[in-house]
Homo-oligomer: A and B are copies of this chain.
Amino acid sequence: MTYKQIIALDAMGGDFGPSVIIPAAAAALARSDKTKFLIFGDEKMVSPILDQYEDLKQHAELRHTDKAISSKEKPSAALRNSKGSSMRMAIEAVKDGEAHGVVSAGNTGALMVMAKLILKCLPGIARPAIASVFPAEKGKTVMLDLGANLTCNAEVLTQFAVLGAVYARVVQGIPSPKVGLLNVGTEEMKGHDEVREAAEILSQVEFPGSYYGFIEGNDITKGTVDVVVTDGFTGNVALKTAEGVGKLSKMYLTDAFKSSPLAMLGYMLSKKAIDAMKEKVDPRKYNGGMFLGLNGVCVKSHGGSDDVATESAILIAIDLVKNGFNDRVSAEIEDLMEQETFISVVGV
């Protein structure tokens, strides 16, 4: 059988290791076509679980290693001791052309440092970004960077705009994605130099999306644009603030339903609808931080992910590979670099 998507899995990453990663891979396999997994991890732990999933076993190869990266280690220390670890071997499989993409729920910093070092950036891309998809009032929003680059100059922000726009186009199927720059106001004179300079570039160059302008924090969930571009510091704070508010809302709702017998009865009657709503915003459905801009697909699954969440992350990696995301990015970046306006403004 010819496989279209070969995904390397770091089976030892995350809080639960193979006990969630293997079932998640089996579920993802069932929902995709022509996919194969290279599974890196401790045979003694992985094999017994893998044996329970006949179909996955048919489309997977287990590569043994008893070494794993600790989630507590600093990225630099993790990197030094990474040889032969499940995370590193999974990344190397992508580099060696054995796999198209890698998924890990391990140490985020270590994964980023290792992926950058081993896979390298796509030609023309200065720095990779972490991107994720968010639910919005209308449609969905992809936001980047979520923490890989704390500060970003205008050129880097412009490249993120391209990465996000290509994602929205080829993976989400939006013909001309609207791209917005996250700022503190929508007027031209607002914001940092970097963001104003990026606005100037984006309004002049041709890229696979259409530049919408500045947007504000509330636009992320409003669905004003398809792609939100920001530096990694701001993006990370926005992401985690959103998570916090979501959690608080859920807590308030639970408290309200528990506050009286009548409210509890009300909950029981509306339970089906409330559960459907909860499912719609279930963070597990949105799990998977994409490291975009690397020479190979790399997706980070949240460390505390269960099998449902891990499945989402694996499916994201499969989707990126299936839609030829990286080839498309390379072509678009090449186009961008050739545009005189881009060169004159950025001064490459």
Chain B nearest CB, measured from A275 CB (Å): 9
Size category, A interface = 35 or more
Chain A 245-263, CB-CB to B under 8 Å as 1, else 0, gives 1111101110111011011
Provide a sorted-by-A list of 5 A–B residue pairs whose CB atoms are within 8 angstroms: A217-B240, A256-B277, A265-B269, A266-B268, A270-B270
Kindly state the separation between the CA atoms of A245 and B262 in the bound complex, as whole angstroms.
28
Kindly state the separation between the CA atoms of A220 and B125 in the bound complex, as whole angstroms.
34
Q: For A109, give the chain B residue with the smallest CB separation.
A: B185
> Do B184 and A233 touch (CB < 8 A)?
yes
Tell me which residues from 174 to 221 in chain A have a Cβ below 8 Å from any Cβ of chain B: 182, 184, 189, 191-192, 216-221
Interface assignment of A113: CB less than 8 Å from any CB of chain B:
no
Tell me which residues from 255 to 288 in chain A have a Cβ below 8 Å from any Cβ of chain B: 255-257, 259-260, 262-274, 276-277, 280-281
Chain A 226-256, CB-CB to B under 8 Å as 1, else 0, gives 0000101110111111111111110111011
Chain B nearest CB, measured from A292 CB (Å): 18
Interface assignment of A18: CB less than 8 Å from any CB of chain B:
no
Residues of B within 8 A of A184 (CB): 147, 150, 232-233, 236-237
Where the two chains meet, the residues of A that have a C-beta atom closer than 8 Å to any C-beta of B are: 74, 135-137, 147, 150-151, 182, 184, 189, 191-192, 216-222, 230, 232-234, 236-249, 251-253, 255-257, 259-260, 262-274, 276-277, 280-281
Chain B nearest CB, measured from A250 CB (Å): 8
Choose from B216, B221, B271 the contact partner of A245 (Cβ within 8 Å).
B221
Kindly state the separation between the CA atoms of A273 and B255 in the bound complex, as whole angstroms.
9
Choose from B137, B237, B272 the contact partner of A263 (Cβ within 8 Å).
B272
Kindly state the separation between the CA atoms of A243 and B239 in the bound complex, as whole angstroms.
13
With A150-B184, A192-B150, A245-B249 already in contact, the answer to whether A240 and B256 are too (CB < 8 A) is: no
> Do A241 and B220 touch (CB < 8 A)?
yes
Choose from B222, B233, B243 the contact partner of A234 (Cβ within 8 Å).
B233
Residues of B within 8 A of A259 (CB): 273, 276
> Do A237 and B182 touch (CB < 8 A)?
yes
> Do A273 and B244 touch (CB < 8 A)?
no
Chain B nearest CB, measured from A98 CB (Å): 33
With A234-B233, A260-B272, A273-B256 already in contact, the answer to whether A221 and B239 are too (CB < 8 A) is: no
Chain B nearest CB, measured from A276 CB (Å): 7
In the complex, given contacts A217-B238, A266-B270, what are 18 additional A-B residue pairs having Cβ atoms less than 8 angstroms apart?
A150-B192, A191-B233, A216-B240, A217-B243, A217-B244, A218-B243, A221-B241, A222-B244, A222-B247, A237-B237, A241-B241, A246-B249, A252-B280, A252-B281, A253-B253, A263-B270, A265-B270, A266-B267
